Chain A
């Protein structure tokens, strides 16, 4: 079966702009999580969605938001981009209940200039 698909793979944006990243989970997976990965900070949790509801949110400013659609596809949005937002953004899905490993997408590499 198809894996987790993230689009786009690469993105270059200018400071102050906004960006929307997309994630299509594995079919049947209703839980989608988003992570930010940077060389210095490792994997930082952004948020987790299940059945269109945000179940948990990490310690990121309000400029970072997300949503999930009825088909479990998810988007995250970053407004008013800052240079420090440059990172690899990873989406991961798993069946709805805890206790399963995550399947990650290949990520979106965002560069803010």
Chain B
């Protein structure tokens, strides 16, 4: 079945360093969504990418959708403690009424 692979599982960074998480789908996606889940919280929608090669920015966060619409990335510049959490990507499944989720990348700020 369709899969969305997300790496790495964890990333430890010093505050101020950059962070990147990558998603790869086994099939072409019509769109990809990104969510953030803070520790003890619930996923919060960040953005949706639709177009091939699309790049969107939200302050220090940069989201990219690959040319083939099978991969995507989220890059955070100069991480802050408020960025701590798990970042998930998700794409439509065989049915548009279901999202297939990546396993998430946990951003950990080293003390």
Partners in one complex: yes
Name A's B-contacting residues (CB within 8 A).
31, 33, 42-43, 45, 48, 50, 55-56, 58, 90, 92, 98-107
**What residues of B have a CB within 8 angstroms of the CB of A103 in the complex?**
45
Chain A proximity mask over B84-97: 1 for CB below 8 Å, otherwise 0: 00001010110111
Chain A proximity mask over B24-48: 1 for CB below 8 Å, otherwise 0: 0000000101010000011111111
* Best-buried of A43, A99, A103, A104 by chain B (most CB within 10 Å): A43
Interface residues on B, range: 20 to 34
B103 interface hit (Cβ, 8 Å)? yes
- Among A45, A90, A99, A101, contact of B98 (Cβ-Cβ < 8 Å): A45
State the CA gap A107–B42 with chains docked (Å).
7
- The residue in chain B whose Cβ has the minimal distance to the Cβ of A103 is B45
Decide yes or no: A55 and B97 within 8 Å by CB, A42-B103, A101-B33 being known contacts: yes
Task: List 19 other contacts, CB 8 Å, given A42-B104, A92-B43, A101-B35.
Answer: A42-B101, A43-B88, A43-B101, A45-B93, A45-B100, A48-B97, A55-B95, A56-B93, A56-B98, A98-B96, A98-B97, A99-B31, A99-B50, A100-B48, A101-B47, A101-B48, A102-B33, A102-B35, A104-B43
Decide if A56 touches B95 in the complex (CB within 8 Å): yes
**What residues of B have a CB within 8 angstroms of the CB of A43 in the complex?**
43, 88, 90, 101, 104
